[in-house]
């Protein structure tokens, strides 16, 4: 009997994203970068964005080394004007966007009573408002073509609460609700909206290194989940994915 890795390899050979144009937000590093590289390896043309021009340029070079067609643009995805310019430029340079991955996000942690209004606004704008703005900019184009995939990267913090997580959890619980309503608004047009909820992932995001890296997810694990959602059969709809490490932390 073939092992699981062999079966996965066989599926990948049969399915690819050669005709896809994917826009991945927050893709200059970490999870977003891994997602962009994964989609490029499957044949997609990839649009990437972020605020750090140098990190974005480095990611672009890695994508081009894979042979990918790339559009990169420094963008603040909390601003509607910059989002509109990003979507317009991506379509002009790569073609119609068929995949949107809303990955941009930040985490500010600590007791809610010690947090500031600025920290609240920054977190909610980045983790929630940006998804609304980017999806709103892309959705009409997908509706015209009556197909597309929107994947929102949330967190298990959007399903659970913990001390010190008030602002972050609020943004991710909000993202869960937004995703579900988007899915209902768009599924009649042949557009699938999904959410991926990882546990802790080993990136710069948390600000500290895990005690045991073997008990934490990698950015590549999240990228694999994104690919899984995109490579499902056209008649199916994976609406929500919970992603955990095999070994409990």
Q: How many CB atoms lie within 10 A of CB 1?
A: 4
What is the distance between the alpha carbons of residues 239 and 164, in angstroms, rounded to a whole number? 28
Q: Residue 175 in contact with residue 128, Cβ under 8 Å?
A: yes
Catalytic residue among 100, 154, 168, 193: 168
Rounded Cα distance, 121 and 87, in Å: 24
Q: Is 168 a catalytic residue?
A: yes
Positions annotated as catalytic residues are 168
């Amino acid at each position: 009997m073939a092992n699981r890795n062999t079966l996965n390899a066989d599926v990948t050979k049969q399915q690819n994203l050669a005709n896809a144009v994917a826009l991945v937000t927050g893709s200059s590093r970490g999870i977003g970068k891994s997602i962009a590289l994964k989609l490029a390896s499957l044949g997609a043309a990839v649009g990437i964005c972020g605020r750090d021009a140098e990190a974005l340029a480095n990611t672009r070079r890695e994508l081009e080394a894979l042979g990918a067609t790339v559009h990169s643009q420094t963008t603040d995805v909390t601003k509607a004007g910059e989002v509109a310019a990003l979507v317009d430029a991506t379509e002009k340079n790569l073609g119609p966007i068929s995949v949107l991955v809303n990955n941009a996000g930040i985490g500010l942690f600590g007791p809610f009573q010690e947090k500031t209004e600025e920290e609240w606004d920054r977190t909610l704008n980045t983790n929630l408002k940006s998804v609304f703005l980017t999806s709103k900019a892309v959705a009409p184009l997908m509706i015209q073509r009556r197909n597309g995939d929107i994947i929102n990267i949330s967190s298990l913090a959007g399903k659970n609460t913990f001390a010190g997580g008030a602002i972050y959890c609020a943004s991710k619980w909000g993202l869960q609700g937004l995703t579900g309503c988007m899915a209902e608004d768009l599924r009649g047009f042949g557009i699938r909206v999904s959410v991926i909820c990882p546990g802790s992932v080993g990136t710069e995001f948390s600000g500290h290194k895990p005690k045991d890296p073997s008990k934490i997810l990698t950015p590549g694990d999240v990228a694999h989940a994104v690919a899984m959602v995109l490579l499902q059969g056209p008649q199916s709809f994976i609406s929500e994915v919970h992603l955990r490490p095999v070994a409990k932390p």
